[in-house]
Amino acid sequence: MSLVLHISDTHFGTEKPAVVQALVALARERRPDLLVFSGDVTQRARPAEFDAARRFCDALGVSPVLALPGNHDIPLFNLAARLWRPYAGYLRAFGPWLEPTLETDDFLVVGVNTTRAHRHKNGEVSAAQVDRVARRLSAARPWQLRIVVTHQPVAVPRPQDAHDLLRGATPALHAWSRAGADLVLGGHIHLPYVMNLRAGRWPTPGPLWCVQAGTAVSSRVRHGTCNSVNLIHWRPRPVGEVRECRVERCDYDAAKGAFTLAADTVLRLA
Residue 208's CATH number = 3.60.21.10
Q: What is the pLDDT of residue 80?
A: 65
Q: For the segment 210-252, what is each residue's pLDDT rounded down to a tens digit?
A: 999 999 999 999 888 999 999 999 999 877 788 999 999 999 9
Q: What is the pLDDT of residue 84?
A: 80
* Sign of the alpha-carbon torsion through 77, 10, 95, 121: negative
Q: For the segment 47-92, what is each residue's pLDDT rounded down to a tens digit?
A: 999 999 999 999 999 999 999 999 999 998 776 666 688 999 999 9
Instruction: Give CA angle at 10 (247, 198), nearest 5°.
Output: 35
Question: Is the pLDDT confidence value at 119 over 90?
Answer: no
Measured between alpha carbons, how far is 99 from 83 in angstroms, rounded to an integer?
Answer: 20
How many domains does the chain contain in total? 1
Other beta carbons within 10 angstroms of residue 247's beta carbon come to 21
Measured between alpha carbons, how far is 120 from 164 in angstroms, rounded to an integer?
Answer: 12
Q: For the segment 179-192, what is each residue's pLDDT rounded down to a tens digit?
A: 999 999 999 999 99
Average pLDDT of every residue of the chain: 95
Measured between alpha carbons, how far is 134 from 119 in angstroms, rounded to an integer?
Answer: 25
Split at pLDDT 50, 70, 90, the class of 118 is: confident
Question: Is the pLDDT confidence value at 120 over 80?
Answer: no
Range of the domain at 100: 2-268
Measured between alpha carbons, how far is 121 from 249 in angstroms, rounded to an integer?
Answer: 26
Q: What is the pLDDT of residue 135?
A: 98
